[in-house]
C-alpha cells in the first residue's frame, strides 16, 4: 500500500508539473488519436482479445474529460479501419459489440449534453451493421446543435477511401455541369472531406500509441501539416500524462507549414 501511495504521489506530482508546463503555450485545437495496441495489450496479459478492445473503449470517457480540461476543441479517434474489417469474423463481431456498447453509453452519458459534445461517425459507415449505423445516426441527431467539443469516431475508415469518395462526388457534379474540372482546388476537396464540418478540420496533432510509427491511412489529406507523436504505450495503458507529454512535444515544435 505504501508503494502504491508513493507511486500515486509521483504520478500526481508529474501531472502537476506537466500541467504548469503546457499552460505556458497554446493547446492544439484538433487532436487525432490512433488507438493502437489493444490486441497486444491483451496478449501480454493472456486474456481474450475482446477484453483488450473493451478496456481500450473504457478510456473514451476519460479522454473526453482530459481534452476538455486541456482546452482541445476537437478529437478524432481512429477506432476501426477498413483494413480491420478483414480480420476474422469472430474478432470483427467482438469489435462491433464493444463499439455498440460504448456508443449506447455515450447516448445516455449526461456529460455529452452538459459539455455540449457533438458526436459524429466518419468513414464508410454504410458497411457497418445496421444496428451500429442506426445508433450513430441517433447520437448524431441528438448532438447536432452542440459546439462545446467535437468528437469524431472514425469507423470503417480509410484515408484513401475518403479521398476516392471526394473524387467520385466531384466527378458526378462535373458530369452534371455543376462545376468544371478546372475549378477544382485544394479548397474544393477540403470542403468535401468527412471533417469539413469542423471549425478546425485539420488536426494540429496526431498521436499514435503502441510504438508503431506510421499513420496507416489516418486522415491522409488533413494530416499534411499535422505534428506527429508516437508513444511507446499500448492504448489501454494510455494516461493523462501521455496526452500531456504529447502536447508538450507539440508545443516545442516550430510549425512552418512548408514555408
| Cα 208 off chain centre by | 10
Please, what sign has the CA dihedral across residues 227, 228, 232, 235?
Answer: positive
Contact predicate 67/109, CB 8 Å: no
Distance CA 84, CA 10 (A): 38
Enter the C-alpha cell of residue 189.
476537396
| Cα 152 off chain centre by | 6
Enter the C-alpha cell of residue 41.
495489450
The answer to whether 152 is a known catalytic residue is no
Which of 38, 61, 84, 134 is an active site residue? Answer: 84
Q: Which of 78, 57, 64 is nearest to 116 (CA)?
A: 64
The answer to whether 187 is a known catalytic residue is no
Q: Which of 7, 92, 35 is nearest to 243 (CA)?
A: 35
Three-state DSSP class for residue 149: strand
Three-state DSSP class for residue 214: coil
Distance CA 258, CA 244 (A): 26
Enter the C-alpha cell of residue 233.
504505450
Which of 36, 152, 192, 242 is an active site residue? Answer: 36
Three-state DSSP class for residue 116: coil
Quickly count: other Cβ atoms within 10 Å of residue 29's Cβ.
Answer: 17
* Catalytic center residues: 36, 84
Amino acid at each position: 500500500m505504501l508503494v502504491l501511495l508513493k507511486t500515486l504521489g509521483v504520478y500526481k506530482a508529474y501531472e502537476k508539473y506537466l500541467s504548469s508546463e503546457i499552460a505556458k503555450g497554446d493547446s492544439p485545437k484538433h487532436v487525432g488519436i490512433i488507438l493502437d495496441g489493444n490486441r497486444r495489450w491483451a496478449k501480454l496479459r493472456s486474456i481474450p482479445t475482446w477484453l483488450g478492445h473493451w478496456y481500450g473503449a473504457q478510456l473514451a470517457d476519460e479522454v473526453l474529460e482530459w481534452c476538455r480540461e486541456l482546452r482541445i476543441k476537437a478529437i478524432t479517434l481512429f477506432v476501426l479501419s477498413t483494413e480491420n474489417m478483414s480480420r476474422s469474423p469472430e474478432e470483427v463481431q467482438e469489435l462491433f459489440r464493444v463499439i455498440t456498447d460504448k456508443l449506447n453509453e455515450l447516448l445516455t452519458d449526461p456529460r455529452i449534453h452538459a459539455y455540449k459534445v457533438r458526436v459524429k461517425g466518419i468513414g464508410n459507415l454504410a458497411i457497418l451493421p445496421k444496428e451500429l449505423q442506426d445508433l450513430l445516426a441517433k447520437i448524431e441527431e441528438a448532438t447536432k446543435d452542440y459546439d462545446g467539443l467535437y468528437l469524431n469516431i472514425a469507423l470503417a475508415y480509410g484515408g484513401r477511401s475518403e479521398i476516392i469518395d471526394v473524387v467520385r462526388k466531384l466527378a458526378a457534379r462535373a458530369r452534371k455541369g455543376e462545376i468544371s474540372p478546372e475549378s477544382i482546388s485544394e479548397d474544393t476537396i477540403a470542403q468535401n472531406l468527412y471533417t469539413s464540418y469542423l471549425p478546425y478540420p485539420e488536426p494540429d496533432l496526431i498521436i499514435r500509441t503502441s510504438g508503431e510509427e506510421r499513420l496507416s491511412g489516418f486522415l491522409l489529406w488533413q494530416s499534411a501539416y499535422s505534428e506527429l507523436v508516437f508513444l511507446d504505450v499500448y492504448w489501454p495503458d494510455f494516461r493523462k500524462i501521455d496526452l500531456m507529454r504529447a502536447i508538450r512535444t507539440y508545443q516545442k515544435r516550430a510549425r512552418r507549414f512548408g514555408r
